[in-house]
Amino acid sequence: MASHPTLKTTFAVRSEATTHPLTSYLLRLMDLKASNLCLSADVPTARELLYLADKIGPSIVVLKTHYDMVSGWDFHPDTGTGAKLASLARKHGFLIFEDRKFGDIGHTVELQYTGGSARIIDWAHIVNVNMVPGKASVASLAQGARRWLERYPCEVKTSVTVGTPTMDQFEDAEDAKDGEPVTVNGNGSNMMEKPIYAGRNGDGRKGSIVSITTVTQQYESAASPRLTKTIAEGDESLFPGIEEAPLNRGLLILAQMSSEGNFMTREYTQACVEAAREHKDFVMGFISQEALNTQADDDFIHMTPGCQLPPEDEDQQTNGKVGGDGQGQQYNTPYKIIGIAGSDIAIVGRGILKASDPVEEAERYRSAAWKAYTERLLR
Ligand code: S5P
């Protein structure tokens, strides 16, 4: 690991220096939560994923998903699993990183990122790319994110609810014909109600309303105050002390891997760094095993998987390597990854997920990774 000023600079100061809005936000979140931990939530069902995100959310700054290993994933854009994760992310203050490792030609990866049933870009703040096909995949993902952001201000969010009417709705709908829409609200959102009557009385007057279908259309602007508003105290659905994450999306380039005998050469890693420098407005940094900032103005963030702690009574400092999983995965301690190799965020999956108390274990990892960072600053 080459020596670089970012290794000795606090996350708070780095958050002010970086030009990437999402990197800046993440660094502030890290400082606020005293956490540089990412949970790799590799669980088989959507129910477990949402449960873990809610329970472990307070300890982490990034939640990493593999949506394609999750059964029961609900693809509904407004009420599905992605949307639910996004609301837990707002509640606990973490970013969602879909570990999709896009690895195809540019045109294909752009469509995989922005389209399909999963519509990854809608709910994942961060994704990553396996750059083996070449730098064009990075350029195409950047283009996809740019186009998505440009479309966003005009996007109409439509939600439909069906329910029994309230007194107000009853009065509003009094004069309407059966099934005919009535506009009842015009302040920025359009709300249309279609009253359905049980039948007509003998005198030609309408019978009682049995259901009201409410169609709400909201136009969310990128310049909306939602983005700059500091979260009001007492609102439990929003993490206090910081505004909501910006809409800007971010990319991590898979520059090095944790698996034994992988084929990522030094030349490949160097090409990843060059691609990152060419797309600084979109690339946040790397999935790597060490810090890769070398030029004076490099301010990339590094996230490192292959992380486990030895059992509680063992000294992690004398034991940088902690074995593997028998399937090629290799593990190092947070001390080695953050303190020695200079990475910023430790990614932990089974080390936490397989513990008898994953919530408590996540705190043990958070505290070890944070200690490794604070000690690195002083060393
Ligand atoms: O080099 C890598 C890159 C990644 S993103 N090695 C990895 O293990 N990962 C991912 O990190 C992997 O796909 C898995 O989701 C997680 C590690 O999980 P763990 O259970 O071994 O901690």
**60 within domain boundaries:** yes
Measured by CA distance, the residue closest to atom 3 of ligand 1 is 257
Q: Which residues pair with 172 in a beta bridge?
A: none
Task: For ligand 1, pick from 37, 39, 40 the residue to mutate: most ligand atoms within 8 Å of CB.
Answer: 40
DSSP summary character for residue 290:
S
- If asked whether residues 89 and 164 sit together in one domain, one would say no
Return the ∠ at Cα 272 (arms to 267 and 274), rounded to 5°: 95
Instruction: Report yes or no: 328 and 259 within 8 Å, Cβ to Cβ.
Output: yes
Sign of CA dihedral 69, 333, 258, 14: positive
Bridge-based pairing of strands 330-332 and 321-324 is antiparallel
pLDDT band at 316 (very low <50, low <70, confident <90, very high): low
Q: Is the pLDDT of residue 219 over 50?
A: no
Q: Is the pLDDT of residue 103 over 90?
A: yes
Residue type, 338: I
- Domain boundary residue, one of 221, 255, 270: 221
Q: State in Å: Cα 350 to ligand 1 middle.
A: 9
**108 within domain boundaries:** yes
Q: Is the pLDDT of residue 220 over 60?
A: no
Q: What is the DSSP string of 47-61?
A: HHHHHHHHHHGGG-S
Q: 353: Cβ–Cβ under 8 A, 6 or more apart, which residues?
A: 41, 42, 43, 52
- If asked whether residues 104 and 188 sit together in one domain, one would say no
Q: What average pLDDT does range 37-64 have in this prediction?
A: 98
Question: Is the pLDDT higher at 352 or at 197?
Answer: 352
Q: What's the pLDDT at 120?
A: 98
**229 within domain boundaries:** no
**234 within domain boundaries:** no
329 lines ligand 1 (CB under 6 A): yes
**15 within domain boundaries:** yes
Return the ∠ at Cα 292 (arms to 286 and 297), rounded to 5°: 100
Q: What's the pLDDT at 312?
A: 76
Question: Is the pLDDT higher at 321 or at 224?
Answer: 321
**230 within domain boundaries:** no
Q: State in Å: Cα 8 to ligand 1 middle.
A: 27
Instruction: Report yes or no: 253 and 131 within 8 Å, Cβ to Cβ.
Output: yes
- If asked whether residues 133 and 255 sit together in one domain, one would say yes
- If asked whether residues 93 and 202 sit together in one domain, one would say no
Q: 224: Cβ–Cβ under 8 A, 6 or more apart, which residues?
A: none
- If asked whether residues 99 and 199 sit together in one domain, one would say no
Question: Is the pLDDT higher at 208 or at 140?
Answer: 140
What is the Cα–Cα distance from 82 to 88, expressed in whole angstroms? 10
287 lines ligand 1 (CB under 6 A): yes
- If asked whether residues 115 and 258 sit together in one domain, one would say yes
Give Cα 306 to chain centroid, integer Å. 20
The tokens for 214 are: 């409410």
User: Residues with catalytic annotation?
Assistant: 101
Lowest mean pLDDT of 84-88, 190-194, 290-294, name the range. 190-194
Share of residues in the chain with pLDDT > 70 (%) = 75
Counted domains in the chain: 2
Q: What's the number of CA atoms in the CB half-sphere (13 Å) around residue 367?
A: 7
SS3 278: helix
**What is the CATH number for 125?**
3.20.20.70
What is the Cα–Cα distance from 336 to 290, expressed in whole angstroms? 10
- If asked whether residues 245 and 208 sit together in one domain, one would say no
pLDDT tens digits, one per residue of 120-171? 999 999 999 999 999 999 999 999 999 999 998 654 445 555 555 444 444 4
- If asked whether residues 344 and 317 sit together in one domain, one would say yes
Task: For ligand 1, pick from 62, 67, 99, 332 the residue to mutate: most ligand atoms within 8 Å of CB.
Answer: 99
Q: For residues 123-162, b (16+ Cβ closer than 10 Å) or e, as one string?
A: bbbbbbbbbebebebbbbbbbbbeebeeeeeeeeeeeeee
What is the Cα–Cα distance from 39 to 65, expressed in whole angstroms? 9
What is the Cα–Cα distance from 138 to 131, expressed in whole angstroms? 7
Q: What average pLDDT does range 221-229 have in this prediction?
A: 39
- If asked whether residues 11 and 113 sit together in one domain, one would say yes
- Name the residue range of residue 145's domain: 5-152+239-378
- If asked whether residues 30 and 107 sit together in one domain, one would say yes
Nearest atom in ligand 1 to the alpha carbon of residue 262 is 1
Q: What is the enclosing helix (H) or strand (E) of 215?
A: strand 209-219
The closest alpha carbon to 37, from 9, 55, 18, 64, belongs to: 64
**71 within domain boundaries:** yes
**214 within domain boundaries:** yes
- If asked whether residues 118 and 210 sit together in one domain, one would say no
255 lines ligand 1 (CB under 6 A): no
- Domain boundary residue, one of 221, 252, 269: 221
Instruction: Report yes or no: 366 and 314 within 8 Å, Cβ to Cβ.
Output: no
- If asked whether residues 141 and 280 sit together in one domain, one would say yes
What are the distances in angstroms from CA 203 to CA 165, 179, 210, 339?
A: 23, 20, 19, 83
Measured by CA distance, the residue closest to atom 10 of ligand 1 is 305
- Domain boundary residue, one of 187, 221, 255: 221
